[in-house]
Amino acid sequence: MINDKKIKTIQDKLKLAIAKIEKEENVKIEFGSIRFNVAHYTTQMTVKTLDKTESVDSALKAMCSRLGFTQNILGMKFEGPSGIYEIIDIQTKNRKYPVIAVSPNGTRYKYSVVHIKKLIGGDKIINRNKNLDLLING
């Protein structure tokens, strides 16, 4: 029988097995939403590359451009209500709140494009911060 406790046990075992794959393949694997009944359960899994190549960066920049940003905003930080938040994901299918940021305590929040532009300081500040980051980190 499938219940919350059984799912947690299985997910923990899967995470241990996946940690080896993450290290070998230089990717980050995360589980998403779970649906279940007493007979079975399904979960969503997302695999993201950790490679810092030009093609990966251009794909991320194109995704951000489609939302109206002038640069790749993933990894950018801004001041939130409980500290410094970091932008970790863009969900293009979510039209109203496509930007996902994580708080210092690990909670994820959804933001609109307009709200993120206000929090970061607009396109001029985004471009300046991205260009400074490129100069410093190469």
What are the tens digits of pLDDT across the range 2-61? 898 999 999 999 999 999 999 999 999 988 888 999 899 999 888 888 887 788 778 888
Q: Is the CATH number of domain 54-137 3.30.70?
A: yes
Q: Alpha helices, DSSP H only, in the chain?
A: 4-25, 54-67, 113-120, 122-137
Q: Can you give the residue ranges of every domain in the chain?
A: 4-49, 54-137
Instruction: Yes or no: say if 101 and 85 are a contact pair by the CB < 8 Å rule.
Output: yes
What are the tens digits of pLDDT across the range 102-113? 999 889 999 998
Band (pLDDT 50/70/90 cuts) for residue 101 is very high
Q: What is the pTM of this model?
A: 0.65
What is the Cα–Cα distance from 105 to 66, expressed in whole angstroms? 30
pLDDT of residue 131: 67
